[in-house]
Amino acid sequence: MNLLINVVDAEKVRPLLIKLGTLLKDGDSEATELSSYIMDELVNTELSEKMVSIKRRIEDYDFEDAIETLSGMLKALKWL
């Protein structure tokens, strides 16, 4: 069991998350690919569980819930 928590590279991840929000609002299927990339960036970070939830919603084509979860995460981080 890996107990290490990696630090989120905000300068790299923040723009990706904002782009993901735009893709989701547009109903763009590229959101699936981008969410996979972001998941890789957030492995073993405090955001990984939230990103799993967002990715699952995207895979279920529940873009509205994915947007809500993403927006909540960005607001909590004060990235919006």
Mean of the pLDDT values across residues 29-46? 94
The whole-number pLDDT of residue 10 equals: 87
SS3 of the chain: the string is CCCCCCCCCHHHHHHHHHHHHHHHHHCCCHHHHHHHHHHHHCCCCCCHHHHHHHHHHHHCCCHHHHHHHHHHHHHHCCCC
Measured from the Cβ of residue 67, the count of other Cβ atoms closer than 10 Å reads: 19
> What mean pLDDT comes out for the span 41-70?
94
Counting residues of the chain whose pLDDT is more than 90, the rounded percentage is 74
pTM of the model: 0.88
For 28, the token pair is: 């763009």
